[in-house]
Structure 1
Amino acid sequence: MAPSASEDPPLELDSDDKQELKEIVVEFLSRYEGLYEKRIQKLIFYGEIATAIKTGQRLTDADFMPYDYGPYSRAITNVLDELVEEGRISIREDGQYATTLSGGNISPKKTYLIGKIHSETKRMSTDELVDRAKNTWLWKNYEYGEDMDFAEYIDEVIMSPNERDMAREPERDPVEDADMERLLS
């Protein structure tokens, strides 16, 4: 169960980050007939981890915390409500969120990443997504209800692609270059 609105601190996303999160939610929903909020939360968290591993960056700037049914983001709950109010998504009779839109207005890179995430997760149950989330460094290193620090996760666990490349290629000492005259001219 999500925290009640009275327990929630104010949403920390700026307007650009909130708009991007809305577009990412729409992009995910456009790939399904409908999704419950619990699954949307877990898909976006899975996307955060997968994106960090692939790019050394985050998919969104949404907050997440360990909660009753796995990682939970107040920001996602907030944008779901706003998207319903805006008429961009709807809540079906069975309680699932759905959209008739063909996708969100996001970068081709993020569209591609969400496509990959969709391919990896479409046959996973929501419980399997929760289990995978609970096996992450973030879940294991933060207390119930405490905001997870993705910057720390990326710094501690995931090296950026540039850092990975630098770790693979030993730095060349220019003094060892055979063409010393070229170096000195």
Structure 2
Amino acid sequence: MGAQESEISALADLDDVIRGFLSRNEFLHEFRLQKLIYLAELVAQKEHERRLTDADYKPFMFGAYSEDVSNQLEDIESEANTRAATHHGKVVTEFLDPDQEPETSSEVEDILDKVQNHVQAKKISSKDFGQWSKESWLYENTPFEREMSFERYQTEARDALDEDLDPFGLT
């Protein structure tokens, strides 16, 4: 967990959250998974006033990005069912439904289901998902490549959290 975050533990292990989203999708590439987890982090802030995972996120060129998520995916890749695909003109790895089921609480399952269902219902493209993350209050109020502090939504921007979740109907 980042140095700026409080000492309250996260609701779930990052590996389980990744596997949870992989199990809810026929296929998923890292770019979209990064944004799904970022959105789930915002939902956890709204509903539980705490982090979903301990993954550090930073503002990057294509939106909110976590090296922790990327590194965890590299670990999962060796055991996951994958295929090559093209995204933003680059060859990427698509992760298919995992063999190992996640071990998460009902709170976490509810967050993952809610995010998955709302994103699917709104038919949000990966490009629009990336743009949404770049327009989120936390992204806009964190210096580029600096660690985001999700608890700032609780201390500085409660209304902004609702605005960030509104495009998905999650307010």
TM-score of the alignment, normalized to the shorter chain, above 0.5: yes
Asked if 1:64 is matched to 2:62, the reply is no
Aligned match of 1:92: 83
Residue 102 of structure 1, CA deviation: 6.9
Per the alignment, residue 157 of structure 1 pairs with 157
Tell me which structure has the larger Cα radius of gyration. 1
| Structure with higher strand content | 2
Q: 1:103 to 1:158 in 2, by over 3 A?
A: farther
Give 1:25's match in structure 2, choosing from 2, 7, 18: 18
TM-score, normalization by structure 2: 0.75
1:66–1:146 Cα contact (<8 Å) kept: yes
Conservation of the 8 A alpha-carbon contact between 2:19 and 2:98: no
- Offset of residue 100 of structure 1: 3.5
The residue number in structure 1 matching 2:38 is 45
For residues 54-111 of structure 1, what are the alpha-carbon distances to aligned partners after superposition, in whole Å with 9 as ceiling and x for unaligned?
Answer: 22122111100110110000000010011123x1x23213320123437411111101
Number of the residue aligned with 2:108: 110
Using a 3 Å threshold, how does the CA distance of structure 1 residues 29 and 143 change in structure 2: closer, same or farther? same
- Distance (whole Å) between structure 1 residues aligned to residue 99 and residue 53 of structure 2: 20
Any stretches of 5+ residues in structure 2 without a counterpart? Answer: 1-8, 86-92, 160-171
Per-residue deviation, 1:155: 2.1
Q: Any conservation in 2 of the 1:33–1:98 contact (CA below 8 Å)? A: yes
The one-letter code matched in structure 1 to 2:94 is: Q
Whether the 8 Å contact between 1:29 and 1:35 is mirrored in structure 2 is yes
Cα distance in 1 for partners of 2:158, 2:48 equals 9
Asked if 2 retains the 8 angstrom alpha-carbon contact of 1:23 and 1:105, the reply is yes
Runs of 4+ in 1 over 3 A off after TM superposition: 100-103
Q: Deviations over 1:106-154 (max 9, x none)?
A: 1111011100000111221112212221222111111211111112233
Whole-angstrom distance in 2 between the partners of 1:150 and 1:93: 33
In the alignment, the residues of structure 1 paired with residue 111 and residue 142 of structure 2 have an alpha-carbon distance, to the nearest angstrom, of 26
Q: Which residue of 2 aligns with 1:141?
A: 141
Aligned residue pair count: 141
- What letter is aligned with 2:84? E
Runs (5+) with no aligned partner, structure 1: 1-15, 160-185
Of 80, 99, 102, which aligns to 1:101?
Answer: 99
Identity %: 27
